[in-house]
Amino acid sequence: MDLRANFQALFYPESVALIGASNQRNKWGYRILDNIITGGFKGKIYPINYKEKEIHGLKAFSSLKEVPDPIDLAVIVVPVRSVPETFEACIEKGVKAAILITAGFGEIGNEGKRLEEALTVRAREGGIIFTGPNCNGLMNRGIRLHAQMISLFPKRGPISMVTQSGNIGTSILARGIRNGLGFSKYVSSGNEALLRNEDIIEFYGEDPETEIIITYLEGVKNGQRFFEVCKKVALKKPILVMKAGRTRGGARAANSHTGSIAGPDEIFDAGCRQVGVLRCESLDELFDLAAALTRQPLPRGPRVGIVTSGGGWGVLASDACEKRGLDVTPISERSISELGRFLPPWWSKGNPIDLVAGMNNRNEVFEACISILFKNDEVDSIMLLGIGLILEQKRKKGYTLDETEKKMMDAEMKIADTILGLLDRYKRPIITATDLNMHENPYENPLFKKLREGGVLVYSDPDRAAAVISAMYRRYQYSRRSKSYAV
């Protein structure tokens, strides 16, 4: 089986057949077709339905056989009992790849499992690869292929995802859209009857459009192969994993002390560390990290400089950094005296650099602080806290801003350009966090919007920011380590 051609058909089809297409708008056979059309797919689309003449403005065919052209990819939404005959029709037609949306297989019990296994055997014999069953579709943003149940159309970017849960996948895509993050590919792998998580990760590893790989897992069918693939791919690209089911497992029947201590989750965790996979604890962490990797350079060391508008958050940030193995390092006398030229006399004179609610020239002060710390090689990353609040002042109706206030607002808005400029100049990460609860609507804050357009997210608290820096530093360490092993 020439898998290369199969994967080409799965992700870059020139023709797609939707088997089980429907004119009824409350059917997935309609919704998926609508998403393919709305998504802007440029290839040929063939709705298959045995009684309809036309669906969603496209000529419908009563069966695959009736389609005059070859079909690369079949999207299957027929009822479970019709799936075997649909597979046979696909094999006969020479289809190379399929997305089996239909549920009701291995997830419902032994009978479903047998059916699923039989299908997999037939697919192998017939030279078809397929995702699913029980999945919510596939996306390849580069060719505007949205063969998916959900109507989410993120912008194009470097992130590719494979998820065992379509539900969780949807949640990540939705966050991505809301935060302006770009995606390349999305696969809902469902029951993983044939194509497994690691097969998709392996493909992403070779895919020039994918730079960051994220995956959501509930179980791994072949753990050894999973880690072999990850080991190979993680040398080139970061892999972010969220694995649920930490609490299950428990003690195994063992005759040795070693055996009684080793829970399946400890083993999975160890494997991740070993092959350089970044395991995330929550969807927030997964998303935060993916966003940061999209735009931020990796920190080349554990030293963090904290620049904060107020004291308490600086303290929380220090704790969060230290807890995660980062180093809120003391700064040199030389830098302290250089910083003193830009800061009010009452500043903290150390790391964290606390502006103590200083309101004047904030943009210039932030820029000077970050530049001095980076230029003098005091720190490897910056955590910048408490920006944008000034833009949220409540005003009475009819209140007009005076010149001073206007200047203050303009200066705050300039912080976005400052951060983006410093990222490029010093090639060191600047991670920002602000208490988003203090903002009317964080997504509408003009400063955050501007930063988001530049690819920088503002995190909701220092702990999340510290988690991001720490994971990025682990990624840096692993990439160094793998370099030293490279032949």
404 touches other proteins by CB under 8 A: no
In angstroms, the Cα distances linking 83 to 8, 122, 204 are 23, 12, 28
**3-class DSSP assignment, residue 98:** strand
Evaluate the CA torsion angle 265, 270, 274, 277 in order and state its sign.
positive
Between 73 and 220, whose beta carbon lies closer to other proteins?
220
Residue number with CB closer to other proteins (169 or 271): 271
The least distance separating other proteins from the CB of residue 484, rounded to whole angstroms, comes to 9
Q: Quote the CA–CA distance of 28 and 17 in Å, as a whole number.
A: 14
Among the residue ranges 90-98, 122-130, 264-272, 441-449, the one whose residues contact other proteins (CB under 8 A): 264-272
With tokens 């904060």, the residue in question is 308
How far is the CA of 167 from the CAs of 148, 150, 162, 448, in angstroms?
Answer: 12, 10, 12, 28
DSSP state of 299: P
Query: Quick check: 274 binds other proteins (CB under 8 A)?
Result: yes
- By the rule CB under 8 A, 262 interacts with other proteins: yes
Q: Does 251 bind other proteins (CB under 8 A)?
A: no
> Mind giving me the DSSP string for 162-221?
EES-HHHHHHHHHHHHHTT-EEEEEEE-TT-SSS-HHHHHHHHHH-TT--EEEEEES--S
Q: Counting contacts by CB under 8 A, is residue 227 touching other proteins?
A: yes
217 vs 370, which CB is nearer to other proteins?
217
* Strands of 244-296, DSSP E: 278-280
Which residue stretch of 52-60, 80-88, 233-241, 268-276 sits at the interface with other proteins (rule: CB under 8 A)? 268-276
**Cβ distance to other proteins smaller for residue 24 or 222:** 222
Q: Could you say which of 127, 142, 264, 442 contacts other proteins (CB under 8 A)?
A: 264
Region binding other proteins by CB under 8 A among candidate stretches 3-11, 45-53, 159-167, 255-263 = 255-263
Could you identify the residue written with the tokens 């949306």? 101
Candidates 405, 429, 404; CA nearest to 419 is: 429
State yes or no: residue 41 binds other proteins (CB under 8 A): no
Do the Cβ atoms of 344 and 355 come closer than 8 Å? yes
Number of residues that bind other proteins (CB under 8 A): 25
Note whether 43 binds other proteins by CB under 8 A.
no
| Min dist. Cβ of residue 268 to other proteins (A) | 7
The C-alpha atoms of residue 67 and residue 236 are separated, in whole angstroms, by 42
How are the residues of the chain apportioned to helix, strand and coil, as percentages rounded to the nearest 5?
A: 45, 15, 35
From candidates 244, 261, 401, 438, binder to other proteins by CB under 8 A: 261
Show the site string, 187-226: x = touches other proteins by CB under 8 A, - = not.
---------------------------------x-xxx--
Q: How far apart are the first and last CA of the chain?
A: 31
Q: Which of 260, 282, 332, 337 binds other proteins (CB under 8 A)?
A: 260
Instruction: Tell me: does residue 247 bind other proteins (CB under 8 A).
Output: no
277 or 465, CB closer to other proteins? 277
Quick check: 53 binds other proteins (CB under 8 A)?
Answer: no
CA distance 57 to 279: 45
- For other proteins, give the closer residue by CB, 53 or 221: 221
Stretch that binds other proteins, among 31-39, 109-117, 198-206, 248-256 (CB under 8 A): 248-256
307-346 mask for other proteins (x: CB under 8 A)?
Answer: ----------------------------------------
Q: E-assigned strands of 379-485?
A: 381-385, 430-433, 458-459
Amino acid residing at 338: E
Task: Please state, in angstroms and rounded to a whole number, the distance separating the CA atoms of residues 190 and 116.
Answer: 12
The reply on whether position 483 binds other proteins by CB under 8 A is no
Binding site for other proteins (CB under 8 A): 220, 222-224, 227, 254-262, 264, 266-271, 273-274, 481, 485
